[in-house]
Amino acid sequence: MSVEAASGEGVDSIPLFDGEIGVKDKVNEKITGFARQVIHLNSYLRQSLELDFAPLHSGEYGQTNSLVQEVVGRIVRFVICFPSWMGTVPFATVASAITAVGNFSHSSLYRTTHGTFSGEINKSPKLCVLNPRMLTGINPQRNAGVSVASDRFNRLASTIKDNNPDVVFLPEVNRFNAPSLAASLKERYHFFFTGMGEKMIGEDTSFFIAFRGSLVKPPEYIPFRKQDWLMERGYFVMETEERIYVCTYKPTPGDWNEIFSREFGDKKQVVLMGEMEPEDGEILLQKGFVSGIPKDAQTTTSAPYMHYHSVEEGESTSVPLLYFSKMEGKTDVIPMHGSENVAEALSDHALILHR
């Protein structure tokens, strides 16, 4: 069903994006959704095996307080999970092939989930950018020093609810948590966009986007020309009457050239959201963009990584991205870790809120 936007006198009304999909795509999503559950079971068993070889942290990261009990538990878990994981590999392989075919035959390069929000829409939308480090397996622990995604899911949902932004962009949300997160936030948003570029092997883009308001046209997901074999790379574009939102994750200089080769026009504010390499700020400044994040704000921390790996220095990391073609509003940078209990950090990235 199409919704129409009010317009000035003598100007035709503009049909807004309603997110409706055809019967073919609905059947497609049911089939690929079931296939995803099969892959999820295999992924969960693999994660359990990976946790058997994780560093020992008594009483942290879901481990027991007793070292002996933890070691014995890991041995038992390995004995149970290894044959179970091997047994699900053939089914997960078939499910991955089904998913790849389903994604190829779907009419769009992303999935739209409808929310049920029915309240008033803010005239000045509040924006949220956060990398919650929720890729599959023990990637969150290994790369960021935070617990696996499922252990932090409720805290992530509560953080979004408590801050109540109108536009949310979360990179690094795995394909298994994304539907559950959309269901948890369903009453607060009009649309959720996920599932960009799911691959037969490896990760999709792992974008999670929640939007409250009206879009004047269907959003677009555009894959970058240069791709990694493991993870899909690209950018997602949404357009309202006042703004164009561009959501992306760690683009290379060549990728930035692809983004800026697009014609955005000069009547709307362009908002760049996501994550980038620190040195890329100069590229954006040269394009006339201004950072929405205070210059001296601490947007990342290596504390969780150092705690988990028991090292004195953390690995280098990308930083949150929030740039505007025209600067306005106020930005809050909220740490997602505490110094007293680093192992309980939601992320090693700060929550960026702009209003």
- Could you report the per-residue pLDDT of 84-129, keeping only the tens digit for each? 999 999 999 999 889 888 888 899 999 999 999 998 998 889 999 9
Question: What is the rounded average pLDDT of the residues 138-147?
Answer: 95
Residue at token pair 């079971």: 41
Asked if 195 contacts 175 with a C-beta cutoff of 8 angstroms, the reply is yes
Report whether 73 contacts 56 (CB < 8 A): no
pLDDT of residue 6: 37
121-140 pLDDT, tens digit each: 988 899 999 999 999 999 99
Where are the domains positioned within the chain?
Answer: 23-102, 110-354
The reported pLDDT for the residue numbered 50 is: 96
What's the pLDDT score for residue 314? 84
Task: Give the pLDDT of residue 200.
Answer: 62
Three-class DSSP category at 219 = coil
Kindly report the average pLDDT of the chain as a whole number: 91
Note the pLDDT tens digit of each residue in 283-325: 999 999 999 999 889 999 999 999 999 998 888 789 999 999 8
Q: Which DSSP letter does residue 344 get?
A: G
CA distance 322 to 53: 37
Mean pLDDT of 140-150: 95
Architecture of domain 110-354: 4-Layer Sandwich (3.60)
Confidence at residue 15, expressed as pLDDT on a 0 to 100 scale: 61
Rounded distance, CA 140 to CA 151, Å? 11
Question: What percentage of the chain has pLDDT greater than the value 70?
Answer: 94
User: DSSP E strands: which ranges in the chain?
Assistant: 3-5, 14-16, 111-114, 127-129, 167-170, 191-194, 208-211, 220-223, 234-239, 243-249, 269-276, 290-291, 319-324, 331-334, 351-354
User: How does 122-140 read in b/e, with b if 16+ C-beta sit within 10 Å?
Assistant: eeebbbbbbbbbbbbbbbb
Q: Which of 349, 332, 1, 352 is nearest to 145 (CA)?
A: 349
**Whole-angstrom Cα distance, residue 219 to residue 240?**
10
Indicate the pLDDT class of residue 4, thresholds 50, 70 and 90: very low
pLDDT at 165: 97
Nearest to 109 by CA among 198, 176, 177: 198
| 290, β-bridge pairs | 324
pLDDT at 328: 78
Beta-carbon contacts of 204 under 8 Å, excluding residues fewer than 6 positions away, are: 175, 195, 196, 197, 198, 231, 232
Joined together, the tokens standing for residue 305 give 């990584």
* DSSP-assigned states of every residue in 53-116: TSPP-TTSTT--S-HHHHHHHHHHHHHHHHHHHHHHHHHHHHHHHHHHHHHHHSSSSSEEEE--
* Contact (Cβ atoms closer than 8 angstroms) between residue 334 and residue 296: no
pLDDT digits (tens, 9 = 90+) for 233-260: 999 999 999 999 999 999 999 999 999 9
Predicted TM-score (pTM) of this structure:
0.92
State how far the Cα of 132 lies from the Cα of 336, in Å rounded to an integer. Answer: 9
pLDDT at 192 over 70: yes
Cα–Cα distance between 148 and 8 in angstroms, integer? 51
**pLDDT-based confidence at 35, cuts 50/70/90?**
very high
Percent above pLDDT 90 for the chain: 77
Residue 100: predicted pLDDT: 84
Integer Cα distance of 21 and 315 in angstroms: 43
**173-189: per-residue pLDDT in tens?**
999 999 999 999 999 99
Residue 13's pLDDT band, with cuts at 50, 70 and 90, is very low
Q: 207 with 249: CB under 8 angstroms?
A: yes
